[in-house]
Structure 1
């Protein structure tokens, strides 16, 4: 800059200073304007130099134009704490999830949610270019918090202005908006509301990147999401990276869950003609029961909608607000992300209440989810489907890219590419083409109509411009293609060329044998992390067909997962005796041999597995790790490179190479390998620890610590230590552990790895409280068994029992827990043992529940579980006494208050229960209905008491009240309600008050309401009573015959016992509240004959 200014000031100015034509001057100034004074000087310098050195004019112009375009497109990344109104979560439960959701163990849940907000600072990363602003919250699951299109100021990815946690995810806390990254098994990921690791950087091309991710603890897989904002585009990318570093298959599930606003002018653009349900059932799309449900306003019926659109090879989906003129969308390659899910809260208050629960002022939202599979499959025995759960192969890495974009003033979405969003409409002999460029476009758009070239349209535009072209059609449109430059961006025909022909149901499929059907069911359980259920089914298969090859392989792998290596070896011998060369059987055998410390046998088995492309890279990786553990460095390098030949992103192979080079003193080669690793996964903490081992300086260890920001940093250290232990590098494993935050499991691993620290580490382990010490790894089993040989202490027995439960050794775990007796001095142990042994053995938990409560009355869960036990075992008065005091001690705890109301209801203290129902404030979980069900039950019971005492007016008032849906109970009123009990009882009240017309009206409403109900619904009893009271005995007889013919045995027996049977109501032990109420109603009804 300075030389240019000097030249302008001091060099003589010839008379031809403005030699170029005025239009050139104006052209250059148009580019210079955004650059301010510097642009002005640069242009005038060009004017000055051009006449003197004309041959340099083009070069100078080219340099200026390229720089002006570059400087005019600015990117900005800001990382800073930002204050948000926050409704926090709290109160982690010390009860292991083995009790209530074993498929997420060792995670635990949170049970405290706030009604009142606080101001809280959250670390926020903001990525910004000229067109978009994208925000990321590393401390809230790493989710994209929102994305705004700058010219309109609209958030095309819903950006919640508050952080409002509610009990929705697998561990509880969840908040709406943004893009949530879900990896593992079906549901909102365990990490969705907690801190994850992250890193930010600017790329050479000027794009900005924020990488977020962490480990999924149960599977030990690692997931990442690279959020990238290009410098000059109006879309941003999320690159998914997920790898399985384990030698066993894991469940495979990934959905990128994005949120957007909703509105009555909204239309959903989802290609396809099929709406897959979670069970695999098929519905039409977009017409369902005569409604076009692609229009948001037409979804005002039924419950919340969860549908996965399929049947088209098109790669985009999204929505558009016609009145507001903007929209949102996603695209990817079909093979990357074929899943296209639409989630809508119910448009009734049952969904509307969640708007209030999850935000303050931002309004209701919907979810448009992109998935690696076609649907979020939940198998149902009543719904045959070719869809299945998927598995994640050993030592595998998957990568894919999603693109997220805004839409502006083009009317909808017909096609999408990285070039732009296209909306095509035909109307009255005219063709309209509207385009939002997503990047600079300077291309010709070739239009082909009915297979003939029709027109070439020049398209010149910047990102988010609105470009419209109109064409007149000379003949009816039968086929249309648009080619932008060389890219076909749109294809349409009267017979949809993008429609998939394959079937999405089992129509025409030959039925499987009973054994094969059971095998597929077992595999579904295996890929759902329901390992005990899978084990039972595999054992049943092998009992009936001992030679079943695939069941033997799967069962052997399952036994390996359970650390039952001798049994696993016996099992894998079966398929190998059938097919010596079976690649999967050999891979599983290799893993078992390796765990049994038989490296030669392992190498031989892996060698056969490597003959298959499916297992080649994985087998070579395992062989490289064995050679590294045996200190055969050159062979380790050889096999790691072989693994990379067939999977260039094989992170586990790169790690072997890095360690090999370091051990061989090849620092430069090690650094190069680590750089390649960084390119794939910059959050891999192995990279920075290896850099520290190569050059052990304080700055290196600080760099290692700086990127460990996740919820469980000690787990990061343990997993890295396990990696080094796999390589037989105990020294490095121990060095990792010395850097870990304090934790009992770190003490255990240290004691195992270092004899010199064994006693002090065991002392430290035993001094720590047991809460949130949740061992689950295979490696930890051996360590705990060794520790028990050194020390006789109840905590070691307890930890070993938990680890054994994690690998399904239930009998051994139960024996250990029972054997502790009353040696424990921690109240949490007695609560946990009570719940675990009741589940494992059906053992009466009373003694342990009392012990926990007596030891620590400051923990509300001790009151809750003891009171529930009393209430469920006929000791309601004792339960009432406990809950009365507990609700006083723990004011505002709606869990205890609900239990208190239940017991009051059971004891017939309806007045007190009704008073508490007015005051309670329930923060529900998704799908919860207990609060309103309890409300209805209390008021119906109170009304029945009034009816028995002939207090007709009071009974009627309570029955009318029972029809309400007070939202302080955490439930909003749905479109469809079941009011048959109220109608029937209101009819009885009318009869008692001689209101014959009203009586008959209510009875007819009962009949009409049950007409479309299943014969298995117990409310059919009221239809029988109503028909009898209306004098329609023949109709009642016909209905009873229908129920007997089509109903299940349980329903027929229940209704039969009350309809025309004994004069004394039976007592149901089913626990079904509606059946219990129906029994009471039947008793009251007899007095109205």
Structure 2
């Protein structure tokens, strides 16, 4: 089985290696929930079976998914793990606070993330069934009719079966070595499951069970696979840097993969541009890069790349094998208003089968704009030949028939189309225009669902065919206020020559609330550019288009649009906030970022999100901790509305010595876990209690220290986190050892000192919440000293120094398989500085352990000069090493 992105692999059901940082080398059945201690994903590397399922052995019931494995190969299970950490998530995610298990299936995909291509107007379909079952245990095979289990038992072989409907006089046939061993005639039903134990000595692939109905039709069958050694697939490997990829062919597929996967840190652009650097005329790369730009709303910029692709394709043969480049060039030209040139390329695209249907559709839309209705219908008929189920083609044809007053033909096509897809909005709309009954109006209203996006999607179909009045009617059916609605109406009315009305709606859009307005379709680019050009005082239109472009990674254009918005609408906080992100992350101007975010907070001072964000920026800019603390305390009402802000306040209290207040705030608040926030609350909980216990130890209040440290070992339910079983408690155990020794309980002290020496003793990077903190190695050394093993302790300290020295000048490279970067959700992390701080910190700890106090201070100071809030450094910069007793 594979992990996400096939980045790790394990045998299944018996795992025999390391998976999710858990050692399963003893051979562990990880198909059993009780054996999986940590959050874990399982994805079948391959399966020849048409089912996926799980089973609750206590309740004797389970869930099955049945689908053809050729179209639904993806089979996944996720669990938060049978441990304290997982059970904390169970408390949040299940009705009865029981184990939380997800079953996931992939249709036309075999892994998460993994995708298949869906071409323009392409249809892919499959059929799948989810169904319950009971009493039969872990199913070995299942169909929509029945599920069967065959297991070795103490006395032979036990066969159990469950059926999904009534099957009187069914036959359960058992074969051994291809010879009939038993034939049971039984009546089966969902209430009456089958179970029988057969006296068969040898269990294996020589056995087979077949269940048939009374007519002899097989309901399900199963024969164990041969016990052969099967090859274990390799885990996926990282794509090399663009300059290290050997061929343009590989660069093309690398770019395609990154684009399709929306990779978190690698850009497809870099691979396409490297390919074009090597061969500026490369057909596939030009087409791919042009399409990438087109999807980003850069229509004019995309044109040259499509033209280069066409030029290479037609270098020797004017009729290329594929029509995609011509089709894409047609789209680019069309979105620029170059309709005549686009028409020629769309027609050329129809010469190739794979772009024939979409090419004819585009031609029909243009002919419809020019009122060549009969010609358009003829083109649509050609389009239907190769894409019979396409509802866009059908909707447009119905519309054209209606415009030609061929109402009977239009009605017939509506009826035919609804048999194919009864839910399609366009067909429902046309049906309503042909027969405007209350029932049809209700059906259309249900399909539109009161969502502006549905209205705009439908309207766009009519805009492309030149039916502007029809598009206006569709948009007017949306009754709520929204600036995009107004902008679209203005655009369409201007197209219709109604300038005064267009002005009215443009002004309404400019005055409408910008809350929850998220333009995201390519035609929004056209409409918003119209507003910006024709109504240059509308700052919010710049803001909306900037949002769209930033989302599509057109950062420079987005930044300029937001800047224009702040000039025109200087009192709009979110434009300043967005500019702050662009200045920090894209233009690397942190002070300008601070100015903009400060302006946003000034304009919208009651926005708890902005309070969190500006403190995050303060942290990035190393603002003095006391000032940050005062800022959050001054805004406590807003801070207390958000767990992320609240834990920032707690963290600052810990960093400035307010340990008791930090602990009290944690205990006064109920936290809810969030993905990306793992470890944030529990870290501060432990930190506060450990620091308070150190004060008790220093004051010889050993009993109080033991109480606090023992409390730190377990998490209260209110913090919304549980402890991972792979977590280490070296720091807590070390101080427990000191506290027990101080109280005179030497035996218990020794026990905790020994526990404090356990865990990984090789330093590593600290990137994810489940990585072992490298500073625990320092406490291993301290504990070893308390155990009179100074020789081993020095080894730990030198390892810390050696790691830092060897990696201080590393050029940071993000892990290709990094899919979660919680510290970079808002403002980018400087991972090069982070690496330097980590190395300085570990070297400082090593020198601190060896007694090189001046060197340790020098290194701590270097770390703090880069990151003034590093809790490890703050904890240890004035560390006093206790004497060994």
TM-score range, shorter chain: 0.7 to 0.9
> Following TM superposition, by how much is the alpha carbon of 1:723 offset from its aligned partner in structure 2, in angstroms?
1.4
CA distance in 2, matches of 1:630, 1:476: 74
Equivalent runs, 1:267-666 vs 2, <5 Å: 274-288=1-15, 289=24, 290-299=27-36, 301=37, 303-361=38-96, 363-372=98-107, 375-378=110-113, 389-425=115-151, 427=153, 432-441=158-167, 447-453=174-180, 457-458=184-185, 460-468=187-195, 478-480=206-208, 482=210, 484=212, 485-487=216-218, 489-493=220-224, 495=226, 503=233, 505=235, 513=246, 519-529=252-262, 533-580=267-314, 581-583=320-322, 584-599=324-339, 601-607=341-347, 609-610=349-350, 613-666=353-406
Classify the secondary structure of the residue corresponding to 1:762: helix
Pick which of 896-905 and 460-469 moved more.
460-469
User: Counterpart of 1:1081?
Assistant: 876
Q: Is the 8 A contact 1:311 1:500 kept in 2?
A: no
SS at the partner of 1:858? coil
Query: What CA distance in whole angstroms lies between the structure 1 residues aligned with 2:145 and 2:129?
Result: 12
Q: Provide structure 2 residue ranges, at least 5 long, that are not aligned to the other structure.
A: 16-23, 315-319, 767-773, 809-834
How far apart in 2 are the matches of 1:348 and 1:685? Answer: 48
Deviation at residue 754 of structure 1 after TM alignment: 0.5
Give the corresponding residue for 1:1057: 844
5 Å-filtered alignment, 1:961-980, equals 961-980=711-730
Q: How far apart are residue 814 of structure 1 and its match?
A: 1.4
| Cα distance between partner residues in 2 of 1:1002 and 1:432 | 50
Q: Output one character per residue of 1:957-999: Cα deviation in whole Å (capped at 9) or x when no partner.
A: 5444433312211112332322122233444556667876655
The match for 1:1019 among 776, 795, 801 is 776
Change (3 A) 1:868 1:480: closer
Which of 415, 424, 438 is the matching residue for 1:684?
A: 424
**Residue in 1 aligned with 2:486?**
747
SS across alignment from 2:513: coil
Task: Decide whether the 8 Å contact of 1:628 with 1:656 is kept in 2.
Answer: no
Alpha-carbon distance change, 679 to 297 in structure 1, aligned in 2, over 3 angstroms? same
In 2 relative to 1, CA 793–912 (structure 1 residues): closer, same or farther, beyond 3 Å? same
Whether the aligned pair in 2 keeps the contact of 1:576 and 1:586 (CA below 8 Å) is yes
- Contact kept, 8 Å, 1:904 with 1:912, in 2: the verdict is yes
TM-score by length of 1: 0.67
Distance in 1 separating the partners of 2:132 and 2:569: 63
Give 1:439 shift.
2.7
Contact 1:766 1:795 in 2 (8 A): yes
SS of alignment partner, residue 327 of structure 2: helix
Structure-1 separation of matches of 2:30 and 2:267: 38
Deviation at 1:286, TM superposition (A): 0.6
Deviations 1:463-485 (A, max 9, x none): 44324566665987614252632
Deviation at 1:503, TM superposition (A): 4.7
Indicate if the aligned counterparts of 1:308 and 1:374 stay in contact, CA closer than 8 A.
no
Q: Which residue of 1 aligns with 2:471?
A: 733
Q: Which structure carries more strand by proportion?
A: 1
| Gap change, CA 1:374 and 1:281, over 3 Å in 2 | farther
* Structure with the higher helix share, 1 or 2: 2
Aligned to 1:897: 646
Q: TM-score, normalised by structure 2?
A: 0.81
Per-residue CA distance 1:640-696 (angstroms, 9 max, x = gap): 334433333222222232223222222222223223332333332212221233345
Residue 749 of structure 1 deviates from its aligned partner by: 0.6
3-state SS of paired residue (2:10): strand
Measure how far apart 1:333 and its partner are.
Answer: 0.8
Matches within 5 A, 1:230-241: none
CA distance in structure 1 between the aligned counterparts of 2:231 and 2:756, rounded to whole angstroms:
46
* Secondary structure, aligned partner of 1:318: strand
Q: 1:322 to 1:919 in 2, by over 3 A?
A: closer
Q: 1:585 to 1:858 in 2, by over 3 A?
A: same
Give the Cα separation in 2 of the matches to 1:1086 and 1:404. Answer: 62
Closer, same or farther in 2 for the Cα pair 1:408/1:735, shift >3 Å?
same
Aligned counterparts of 1:644 and 1:880: Cα–Cα separation in 2: 66
Q: Residue 191 of structure 1 aligns with which residue?
A: none
Q: Equivalents in 2 of 1:514, 1:932: separation in Å?
A: 49
How has the CA–CA distance of structure 1 residues 521 and 860 changed in structure 2, closer, same or farther, with 3 Å as cutoff?
Answer: same
Residue 312 of structure 1 aligns to a residue whose secondary structure is coil
1:489/1:833 Cα in 2 relative to 1: closer, same or farther (>3 Å)?
same
C-alpha displacement of 1:375: 4.6
Would the alpha carbon gap of residues 446 and 639 (structure 1) be closer, same or farther in structure 2, given more than 3 Å must change? farther
Alignment of 1:63-74 (within 5 A): none
Alpha-carbon distance between aligned partners in 2 of 1:599 and 1:357, rounded to the nearest angstrom: 55
Residue equivalent to 2:453: 715
Contact 2:152 2:203 in 1 (8 A): no
1:296, 1:864 → 2: CA distance? 38
Match of 1:785 among 522, 529, 539: 529
SS in 2 for 1:527: helix
Do the aligned partners of 1:304 and 1:346 also contact (CA within 8 Å) in 2?
yes
Distance 1:1070 1:579, change over 3 A: farther
Aligned counterparts, 1:813-892, within 5 A: 813-819=558-564, 820-821=566-567, 823-841=569-587, 842-844=589-591, 845-870=593-618, 873-888=622-637
Residue 363 to residue 503, structure 1, CA distance change in 2 (3 Å): closer
Instruction: Tell me, in whole angstroms, the C-alpha distance in 1 between the residues paired with 2:281 and 2:300.
Output: 19
Query: Could you tell which deviates more after superposition, 1058-1067 or 763-772?
Result: 1058-1067
1:909 maps to which of 648, 658, 679: 658
**Separation (CA, whole Å) in 1 of partners of 2:377 and 2:150:** 56
- CA–CA distance in 1 between the matches of 2:200 and 2:611? 77
**1:1026 deviation in Å?**
4.2
Name the CA distance, whole Å, in 2 between partners of 1:496 and 1:619: 53
- 1:336 Cα offset (Å): 2.4
| Corresponding position of 2:414 | 674
Quick check: 1:870–1:878 contact (8 Å CA) kept in 2?
A: no
Alpha-carbon offset, residue 417 of structure 1: 1.8
Deviation at 1:925, TM superposition (A): 1.2
Number of corresponding residues: 801
The alignment partner of 2:261 has SS state of coil
In the aligned structure 1, how far is the partner of 2:874 from the partner of 2:636?
A: 31
Give the secondary structure class of the aligned counterpart of 1:975.
coil
The alignment status of 1:935 with 2:685, answered yes or no, reads yes
Residues 957 and 319 of structure 1, relative CA distance in 2, 3 Å threshold: closer
| Residues 392 and 1087 (structure 1), Cα distance of their counterparts in 2 relative to 1, 3 Å cut | same
Does the residue aligned with 1:1009 lie in a helix, a strand or coil? coil
Q: What whole-Å deviation, never above 9, does each CA across 1:383-406 have from its counterpart, x for those lacking one?
A: xxxxx5433322112222111222
Aligned partners of 1:1087, 1:502: CA distance in 2, in Å? Answer: 52
Deviation, structure 1 residue 919: 0.3
Change (3 A) 1:1019 1:811: same
C-alpha separation in 2, matches of 1:447 and 1:731: 69
Deviation of 1:625 after TM superposition, in Å, equals: 3.6
Specify the alignment match of 1:758 in structure 2: 502
